[in-house]
Amino acid sequence: MIPLRDTVQSKKVPVATLFIIAINVIVFINQVTMPYDESLSMIYKYAFIPSRFLKGMNHLESYIPLFTSMFMHGDILHILSNMWSLWLFGDNVEDYMGTFRFIVFYILVGLIAGFAHFVFNPMSDLPTVGASGAIAGVMGAYFIMVPHSRIITLIPFFPFFIRVPSQIFLLIWFITQLRSGIMSGISGTVGGVAWWAHIFGFLGGIILYKKFRRE
């Protein structure tokens, strides 16, 4: 299922959501336009690598990639899918939180997601990049805050469009992430997807949304 849009329009221009998308796009353009060796060096320096974090937990600079990795992406499909999801869910959550609170919330759930990835894969040498953990947190907040929404979804193989209640759509997504995370743990493979970052980002959004919701 490919989500296209939701049925709840934002009440104002989602400044924070657009700002975060712009930063991600600028960073990605910088990644792909610099020389290849410089791009690799940038990824190694600013991506989150669990095994490196484990070795340097006593040093403050080791925590920087937990933040910077949230604004980096591996390829064009990676950033397009992430930014589309952020645009789809972020505007409504920002409506409820306000611009500044939304940015703080986004960063916090992103950090929770990154740390969860470390806890479940502490020996991994694979660089981890992407905004999906933070976006999962936004989706978790959306799950609770916008329960009456419908997600207009494309079923690609037929193709046709259906309106799926947002909570059902997000619950299916969460179960898929949880199943994949458990299976990767059983098989002992880390792979290229930070399943546990998605899982705990989503749960973090559900738990923390009240702290950031405007009265």
Please give the DSSP secondary-structure letter assigned to residue 192: S
Residue 131 neighbours by CB distance under 10 Å: 27
Q: Which residues contact 206 (CB under 8 A, 6 or more apart)?
A: 140, 141, 143, 144
Residues 214 and 106: their CA atoms lie apart, in Å, by 15
Is the pTM above the cut of 0.85?
Answer: yes
pLDDT score recorded for residue 119: 95
Per-position b or e across 86-123, b if 16+ CB within 10 A of its CB: bbbbbbbbbbbbbeebbbebbbbbbbbbbbbbbebbee
Residues 92 and 184: their CA atoms lie apart, in Å, by 33
Q: Which of 196, 45, 191 is nearest to 124 (CA)?
A: 191
Tens of each residue's pLDDT in the chain, 215 residues? 789 999 999 999 999 999 999 999 999 999 999 999 999 999 999 999 999 999 998 899 999 999 999 999 999 999 999 999 999 999 999 999 999 999 999 999 999 999 999 999 999 999 999 999 999 999 999 999 999 999 999 987 777 889 999 999 999 999 999 999 999 878 766 667 899 999 999 999 999 999 999 87
Backbone angles phi, psi at 160, to 5 degrees: -160, 170
Residue 39 neighbours by CB distance under 10 Å: 14
Please tell me whether the peptide bond between 65 and the residue prior to it is cis, using omega within 30 degrees of 0. no
Predicted confidence (pLDDT) per residue in 181-204, tens digit = 999 878 766 667 899 999 999 999
The angle, 0 to 180 degrees and rounded to 10, between the axes of the packed helices 132-145 and 166-187 is 140
pLDDT score recorded for residue 191: 67
Contact 71, 24 (CB under 8 A): yes
Q: What CATH number has the domain bearing residue 103?
A: 1.20.1540.10
Domain of residue 121: give its range.
2-212
Tokens, residue 155:
């079923």
Distances in whole angstroms, Cα of residue 112 to Cα of each of 16, 33, 67, 186, 211:
20, 30, 10, 23, 15
Total domains in the chain come to: 1
